[in-house]
Amino acid sequence: MLINVNVGVLGHVDSGKTTLSKALSTVASTAAFDKNPQSQKRGITLDLGFSSFKVEKNIPPHLAPSDSIQITLVDCPGHASLIRTIICGTHIIDLMLLVVDVNKGFQTQTSECLVIGELTCDTLVVVLTKVDLIPPEQRDEKIAKMKSRVSRTLQPTKFAGAPIVAVSALQNVEASTGGGMEELISTLLNSTPDPRERRSELADLPFLFAVDHCFSKSGQGTVLTGTVLRGHICVGETVEIPRVKLKKKIKSIQMFRNSVEEIGPGDRAGICVTQLDPGVMERGYLASPDSLSTCHACLLTGVARIVYYKGAVRSNQRFHVSIGQDTVLARITCLRRVEGKKETEEGEFEYIEELCSEGGADKAREMVLEFDAPVVAPMGGVVIGSRLDTDPLSSSCRLAFHGTVARFFESSQECRASLSVYRCKQRRGEVERVIDPRSCIVRGLFKGETNWELFTGLTVTVILPPSFASVTTEGDNVNSIRAVIEGSFGRAGKCRIRLFADLPDALVKRFSGKAGKKLAKETASADTANSNTDIVTNTLDGHLAVTLDFKKHVFDTTKRFFQ
């Protein structure tokens, strides 16, 4: 039995990723070792490169029984401008090799790759490369110091305690602190999680194949190379390109130049179909017919800021969003699910201005994304938001937030119609005059041009001064009285309210007639003199504050209010 393990090779540009992949591999596949002419001309990796090697001896017990382990290396670009490609590569890996130049240590893209790795995989092995450039008499000491530095960097991450191996991909250089390529392969195998149980669960799901390259082959057809994410498929079955709703019958399948009849989760393969223009797909998905569709918006759950991002993540901002095989611009709306509602229920969401760090009562855990262009992605996939328009040479982290897809919408209109999203609002005013124990005139809540149809019937709260608060027979403090807005009073934005309980006689007397108007002017002057005093907590005994708390639908085009 052969077990295929997909290993991502990530790190800063020119840290030795491609050289390491070439030194380890025995079979080169799609775009391996910078076959792209532009890559050779510029001297850097521009696309995902795939290669592999097999291990048939000394297989760790946790991976037995198996005849051999095939390690498929996914060589990712390291240049800052190619982070879209890096993120696409990490969605298909089981384990990550983080390549660090032993002479330079952690660099900007090393750190970004570490962040991406935390979001997309659970296992990490750090490789210190270019040890042959260190003078032999200094090698052991310098490797030991760099291992210590890397360990401290990993300490606050999920990869704390990850193994670190020092190698030279060009020479068989060994040191007492690093055993070279043989130690790397051994460490890689011992760190590899057994993927069989998880893949057996994925095998029964609809087929999904992440395509990374598409090209024509003379006399055979069009070949789509990629990795099986879930399900299985056989030669002769029909698959669909969801983005264009195009169905094709599979002519043949190869895995590293060997023909096979069937592939399943984790397999790296090339699928050949006929009569397909390679220009239809550069990168994307093959799937079971009608199992995926395009969408223009989605709801994320489990949303969190990336701690290294220094900028703000606010509602209505636009971010580059990596979802599935796509990276597109999207407008974000930060939300918080109303307490008591499960994620599987429709429920209500409170609009949040800004996605904050951990903690806080108004912490947003959900987010709506409205895409500038349609995307195709599986449910439950990891989504990463970033600001790729910032200077790629800057040392600041461009990755801003992440979350998991909980729901797709065919259009922004469907999203806004389906989700009940509201913003909590509060207006504050004060009693100008008391008409009777249950009727008052209030000023300061509204402007003169207010549409009273929206607010008539809403309830308000009259805050009693501290000296008028009372205690119920149950021992509860009563420091306010609820009331309902009956309508406008005059043309200056004043309103008339009807209380649900009587005001204390002393307050009725103080605010009735001319005495009430005079006192209202005095308290207004006091507020002006101390503008920082909150109207609700003002301790002037003669001051009757009134608050209106309501909810406003964010996505409702009629802009209705409710309580």
Class of the CATH domain delimited by 424-562: mainly beta
**What does the block give as tokens for 183?**
């130690």
Answer positive or negative: Cα dihedral of 82, 97, 38, 324: negative
Class of the CATH domain delimited by 198-287: mainly beta
**Domain boundaries defined on the chain:** 2-194, 198-287, 305-418, 424-562
The superfamily CATH assigns to domain 305-418 is Translation factors (2.40.30.10)
Answer positive or negative: Cα dihedral of 85, 86, 87, 93: positive
Residue 542, pLDDT score: 56
- What contacts 397, CB < 8 A, 6 or more positions away? 111, 112, 115, 306, 308, 309, 310
Residue 377, pLDDT score: 92
DSSP for 216-263, written as a single string = EETTTEEEEEEEEEES-EETT-EEEETTTTEEEEEEEEEETTEEESEE
Q: Which helix (H) or strand (E) holds 464?
A: none
Reading the chain (563 residues) residue by residue, the pLDDT tens digits are 789 999 999 999 889 999 999 999 998 876 665 455 444 444 544 578 899 999 998 899 999 888 899 999 999 886 666 778 888 878 899 999 999 999 999 998 899 999 999 999 999 999 999 999 999 999 999 999 999 999 999 999 999 999 999 998 876 555 444 458 899 999 999 999 999 999 999 999 999 999 999 999 988 999 999 999 999 999 999 999 999 999 999 999 999 889 999 999 999 999 999 999 998 888 899 999 999 999 999 999 999 999 999 999 999 999 999 999 999 999 999 999 886 555 545 678 999 999 987 655 456 789 999 999 999 999 999 999 999 888 777 778 899 999 999 999 999 999 998 998 998 889 999 999 999 999 999 999 999 888 888 899 999 999 988 877 765 445 455 789 999 999 999 888 999 999 999 998 888 888 886 555 555 555 555 444 444 444 333 434 557 899 999 888 888 767 677 77
pTM: 0.83
At residue 462, φ and ψ (nearest 5 deg) are -95, 120
342: how many CB neighbours lie within 10 A of its CB?
A: 8
Tell which residue, 64, 128, 121, 60, has the closest CA to residue 95. Answer: 121
Distance CA 358, CA 368 (A): 19
Residue 33, pLDDT score: 54
DSSP for 351-420, written as a single string = EESB--SS--TT---EEEEEEEEEE---TT-EEEEE-TTS-TTSSS--EEEEEEEEEEESSHHHHHHH-E
Q: Half-sphere exposure (CA, 13 Å, Cβ side) for 342?
A: 2
CB 294 within 8 A of CB 375: yes
Distance CA 249, CA 237 (A): 6
Cis link prior to 65 (omega < 30° from 0)? yes
Residue 340, pLDDT score: 58
CA angle (98 as vertex; 97, 102 as ends), nearest 5: 125
Radius of gyration of the chain, Cα coordinates, nearest whole angstrom: 32
Altogether, the residues listed in the chain come to a count of 563
- What contacts 351, CB < 8 A, 6 or more positions away? 315, 333, 334, 335, 421, 422, 423, 424, 554
Asked whether the domain spanning 424-562 has the same topology as the one spanning 198-287, the reply is no
Residue 543, pLDDT score: 76
CB 556 within 8 A of CB 423: no
Tell which residue, 155, 153, 107, has the closest CA to residue 129. Answer: 107
- What contacts 306, CB < 8 A, 6 or more positions away? 115, 397, 399, 400, 401, 402
Distance CA 445, CA 333 (A): 28
- Strands 95-101 and 124-129 come out as parallel
What is the per-residue burial (b if ≥16 Cβ within 10 Å, else e) of 134-147? beeeebbebbeebb
CB 297 within 8 A of CB 315: no
- C-alpha separations of 343 from 77, 348, 367 in Å: 37, 10, 13
Distance CA 394, CA 416 (A): 37
Helical segments of 121-239, H only: 136-154, 181-191, 196-202
Q: Find how far residue 22's CA is from the centre of its chain.
A: 33
Specify whether the backbone of 180 is left (phi greater than 0), alpha (psi in -120 to 50) or beta. left
- What contacts 534, CB < 8 A, 6 or more positions away? none
DSSP for 306-356, written as a single string = -TT--S--BTT-EEEEEETTEEEEEEEEEEEEPTT--TTS--EEEEESB--
Distance CA 401, CA 419 (A): 22
DSSP for 57-87, written as a single string = SS--GGG-S-SEEEEEEEE---SGGGHHHHH
CB 162 within 8 A of CB 134: no
Residue 335, pLDDT score: 94
2-194 carries CATH number 3.40.50.300 = yes
